Amino acid sequence: WKQAAGEVVFSHFTKEEDRDVLPSPLIADLPEKPVEIPAFSKLRDVIFASRKTETLQDRVAPAVREKQVRGGTRVLSDQAACPFRAFARHRLHAEELEEPAEGLDASKRDKLVHLLMQNVWDELKDSTALQGDLSPAIERAAAAAVKEMAVEGRFAELERKRLARLGHEWFEKVEKARPPFSVVSTEEKRPIVFSGVTFDARIDRMDRLESGGHAILDYKTGGGNLTAKRWQGERPDEPQLPLYAVSAKEEITAVVFAKFRPGDMRFVGLSRDDKALPKVPKAKEGWQPLLADWKKEAERLGQSFAGGEARVDPKKDLITCRYCGLETLCRVYEKINVLAEEEIEEW
């Protein structure tokens, strides 16, 4: 190779991860000369620069004409998280690609818990039944839930046992510690209206309380940090419960997440007074002012969606976008400039 031409240039890399790398012995005797490599533009930038372009800020879509919108309260949850997400999912009907999962994914396990609790309370009705042996009711409810989800074989038996264990822990640690109550509804569908648009709602559960009024419960099986702060301020992180509370015909005096995690079974939320549910504090600012704030924000979100607001505006940038799945449609990472360099090169 050295005799192939009057001047031959050899190159070698000097680093491999954190280790220094020496040249091959075949070229170790050759003099080294630093090479200055000009900064080349990326191919995408060259292509982009070669075209005449115009910029159009298309942030507002045509107003919603339909009086009823499919998608339930998820529409307003998405509007709070990012207006474009709500527009893309519920008007363009765009959805992220599902990733295959072995066994049951998180959403199906969540559905099983909802079915378990629905089946149990359809049988028990109220807290007086908690004084007896709950094992038969829980076992029947777990078996029915697994059957409804079409889980089969050995896996079905494992899921049935897992559900039954969760049910026993929940009833022993949470339900039996409560003042008397009765279950008014489970998984009830009802329409709610904001800014002239009707949304379908599904309330996980509503209880009538001995202290007066009703409590709305939302089962949560995930491992996130559940606090009442998720309902605060503009564009709340989890607006479903406030939406239910301000649209219900019943007198609502408590709203809670029912945290359904092994070893961490409890209620998380707010109430009108501290007697409604165990360890659920009353709202510091007062119950009626809180409901008024929730009503105002619900109307604002409804008006925002109905009016066609569709700007790419994630509430918390990367946190909001992490599990969205629509980033190739909105190209949000170009806006907030957070793509890693190697990811850009792959494009």
pLDDT tens readout for residues 189-205: 999 999 989 999 999 99
Domain range holding 113?
Answer: 106-177
Q: How confident is the model at residue 344 (pLDDT cuts 50, 70, 90)?
A: very low
The residue-averaged pLDDT of 3-29 equals 84
DSSP string, 322-336: TTT--HHHH-HHHHH
- In the beta sheet, which residues pair with residue 252? 214
Residue 347 above 60 pLDDT?
Answer: no
CA gap 18, 164 in Å, rounded = 51
Q: What is the mean pLDDT of the chain?
A: 89
Q: Is 23 exposed, middle or buried (0-12, 13-18, 19+ CB in 10 A)?
A: middle
Span 279-308, pLDDT tens digits = 999 999 999 999 999 999 999 999 999 999
Q: Half-sphere exposure of residue 137, counting CA atoms within 13 Å on the CB side?
A: 18
Residue 346 above 70 pLDDT?
Answer: no
Span 74-110, pLDDT tens digits = 999 999 999 999 999 999 999 988 777 777 888 889 9
Q: How confident is the model at residue 336 (pLDDT cuts 50, 70, 90)?
A: low
Q: What is the pLDDT of residue 35?
A: 75
- In the beta sheet, which residues pair with residue 309? 60
Span 300-312, pLDDT tens digits = 999 999 999 999 9
Q: Which of 21-35, 247-261, 331-345 has the lowest mean pLDDT?
A: 331-345
Q: What is the pTM of this model?
A: 0.79
Q: How confident is the model at residue 338 (pLDDT cuts 50, 70, 90)?
A: very low
Q: Look up residue 127 and give its DSSP letter.
A: G
Q: Is residue 146 situated within a structural domain?
A: yes
The residue-averaged pLDDT of 129-146 equals 95
Q: How confident is the model at residue 216 (pLDDT cuts 50, 70, 90)?
A: very high
Distances (CA, A) of 200 to 64, 87, 125, 144, 203: 16, 17, 25, 26, 10
Q: Is residue 138 situated within a structural domain?
A: yes
Q: Is residue 189 situated within a structural domain?
A: no
Q: Is residue 205 situated within a structural domain?
A: no
Count of domains in the chain? 1
Distances (CA, A) of 207 to 20, 117, 240, 254: 68, 13, 17, 10
Closest CA to 188 of 145, 136, 249: 249
Q: Is residue 111 situated within a structural domain?
A: yes
Q: Is residue 119 situated within a structural domain?
A: yes
Q: Is residue 160 situated within a structural domain?
A: yes
Q: Is residue 130 situated within a structural domain?
A: yes
Q: What is the pLDDT of residue 274?
A: 85
